Chains A and B, each alone.
Chain A
Amino acid sequence: QSALTQPASVSGSPGQSITISCTGTSSDVGAYNYVSWYQHHPGKAPKLMIYEVNNRPSGVPDRFSGSKSGNTASLTISGLQAEDEADYFCSSYTGSYTGVFGGGTKLTVL
């Protein structure tokens, strides 16, 4: 199972909006609505930001939103804040109770 494809890096200024894409195939992202997004600060455990394409866990700001079209899922962060600077990973169910992550995107807040 190949890793999902994410851009290596994105950047934005405080207050702006950015979108991170996550491209898979018709066997993973395109086939199931079990796409999640994780925020990862180096040295800490990953934090769940979005699950099942567009659901936010309790405590995650509504500045974070998810969507999916075909084989590509997206994470949008609006009203960028300095503390949003981190690595972001997507994941998808791939069938047979297995999963795959994306390669990760480094978000820089300028």
Chain B
Amino acid sequence: QVQLEQSGAEVKNPGASVKVSCKASGYTFTGYYIHWVRQAPGQGLEWMGRINSNSGGTNYAQKFQGRVTMTRDTSISTVYMELRRLRSDDTAVYYCARVSPVAFDYGGNGLEYWGQGTLVTVSS
């Protein structure tokens, strides 16, 4: 079965960077994009971007352009999301997600498989 296993919680100082991992299993890793979505406390979901697990090509939300980098390591079926210059309002649960095999992979459409979430706390 499809599983996405994320790395553990992080606490960072303002201005620092964080790198969250998402290890995929149960399917052909290079066959799907991985998306990143976050939810700040008391806020809605926010689409951050996606990475082509095969080519490494990325699409980022405009809000995060220049501050986020998504990469992958095909040898260990793992995708990474690095967010730099952290601010207090980056405190959130970060999720990785994959589209359903029967859905078109456009934006946040059809994200059927999700990681368990990684809490990133930015505080001095």
Contact = CB atoms under 8 A, between A and B. Distances in A.
A21 interface: no
A30 interface: no
A69 interface: no
Interface string B100-122: 10111011111110111100000
A36 B45 contact: no
Given A45-B95, A45-B117, A57 B100 contact: yes
Contacts of B18: none
Interface residues of B, number: 30
Identify which of B45, B95, B108 gathers the most chain A CB atoms within 10 Å of its CB: B108
A64 B61 CA distance: 29
Given A51-B100, A101-B37, A93 B106 contact: yes
7 contacts: A46-B45, A48-B100, A51-B103, A57-B102, A99-B108, A100-B61, A103-B43
Top 8 A-B pairs, shortest CB-CB distance: A99-B107, A91-B108, A93-B107, A99-B108, A45-B114, A51-B110, A97-B59, A93-B106
Interface of B: 37, 43-47, 49-50, 59-63, 95, 97, 100, 102-104, 106-112, 114-117
